[in-house]
Amino acid sequence: IKTTKVLCPQELEKAGLLNKTKIAEGGRKLRKNWSLSWVVLVGNSLVFFKDPKSQTPSSWKPGNSRPESSVDLRGAQLNWANELSSKKNVFKLRTVTGNEFLLQSETESLIREWFNTIQSVIDRLDRE
């Protein structure tokens, strides 16, 4: 699992591979469907891309970097959520619109870094 931390004018804060599942949409519970996702924290958003390795050769086009989805972190809530999964190192991200995601990594130090970095963005937006 690779992770990078870069600071640049586009405000790219962090990028790496995490396990992800959406568990609610607009407050309505969804069935879990875990998958490995390339997660990018940039500006006020958390952006999800499909894991390039899970794509078939035919679906992979150079420069095809269209995000799968994107989450606005303004007003979002972050909580550790080990009770919501049999997996370890899980946290829950809830958006103001009632979308809920679980994010997970086998590596505790890595998931802590993600938690702290996302929380610092949420805190910064709260102060604006």
AA letter at 1: I
CB nearer ligand I3S, residue 14 or residue 22: 22
**According to the binding rule CB under 6 A, does residue 4 interact with ligand I3S?**
no
In whole angstroms, the minimum distance from the beta carbon of 87 to ligand I3S comes to 5
Identified binder of ligand I3S from the candidate list 42, 87, 112, 125, rule CB under 6 A = 87
CA distance 50 to 65: 9
User: What single string gives the DSSP state of each residue in 13-28?
Assistant: EEEEEEEEEEEEETTE
CA distance 100 to 95: 7
**According to the binding rule CB under 6 A, does residue 74 interact with ligand I3S?**
no
Residues near ligand I3S, by CB under 6 A = 31-32, 34, 85-87
